[in-house]
Chains A and B, each alone.
Chain A
Amino acid sequence: MDSNVSAQVRKIVSEMSPLDGHTVTSADRLMEDLGLDSMTLVELSLVLESEFELGQIDDSAPALVTVGDVEELIGRAVSDRSR
Chain B
Amino acid sequence: MTTTHDELESLLADQPANGTDRGVDAHALYQRWENQHWAVGELDYEQDRAVWAGLRPFRRRELMHSLAELEVGEASVTATLSSLIEHARFESDQLYLATQIADEARHVKFFQTYLERVIGMDVAAETPELRARTDYAHYFDPELRRVTRRVHAESGNPVAWQAASTYYHLVTEGVLAATALRTTRQLARSLGLPVLDIGLTNVTRDESRHISFGFLAARRAVSEGRGDALAATYTEAVELAATVLVGPQTEQPAPVIRAGLEQRAALLRAMWAVARDRVERQLRSVGLPDAAPATTNAFDRAVGRALDEYAGRWGRPHPVRSVQQLT
Q: If the complex has contacts A42-B253, A43-B56, A46-B58, are A62 and B267 also in contact, measured as CB distance less than 8 A?
A: no
- In the complex, what residue of chain A is closest to B187 when comparing beta carbons? A39
With both beta carbons as reference points, the residue of chain A lying nearest to B260 in the complex is identified as A45
CB contact list, B32-49 vs A, under 8 A: none
- B149 partner residues in chain A, CB cutoff 8 A: none
Decide if A21 is an interface residue (CB 8 Å cutoff). no
Return the contact of A38 from the options B56, B59, B258, B267 (Cβ within 8 A): B267
Give the residues from 31 to 83 in chain A that come closer than 8 angstroms, CB to CB, to chain B: 37-39, 41-49, 54-57, 59-64, 73
Decide if B256 touches A42 in the complex (CB within 8 Å): no
Q: Return the CB mask of B229-269 against A: 1 if under 8 Å, else 0.
A: 00000000000000000000000010111111111101100
Asked whether A57 lies within 8 Å of B56 as measured between CB atoms, the reply is no
Interface size class of B (residues with CB under 8 A): 10 to 19
B190 sits at the interface (CB 8 A): yes
- Taking residues whose C-beta sits less than 8 angstroms from the other chain, chain A's interface range is 20 to 34
Find chain A residues with CB under 8 A from B262 CB. Answer: 62-63
Contact A46 B266, beta carbon cutoff 8 Å: no
B86 at the interface (CB under 8 A from A): no
Closest to B262 in A: A62
**A38 CA to B256 CA in the complex, in Å?**
16
- For the complex, is B62 an interface residue (Cβ under 8 Å from A)? yes
Contact of A43 among B58, B256, B266 (CB under 8 A): B58
B261 contact set on A, CB distance < 8 A: 45
Interchain CA distance A37-B266 in the complex, whole Å: 12
User: With a CB–CB cut-off of 8 A, which chain A residues contact B56?
Assistant: 43, 47
A44 to B255, CA, bound (A): 9
Q: Mark B40-81, 1 if CB is under 8 A from A, else 0.
A: 000000000000000010110010000000000000000000
Give me 7 other A-B pairs in contact (C-beta within 8 A), A47-B58, A59-B258 excluded. A37-B190, A38-B266, A39-B59, A45-B256, A45-B260, A54-B256, A59-B259
- B residues near A (Cβ < 8 Å) are 56, 58-59, 62, 187, 190, 253, 255-264, 266-267
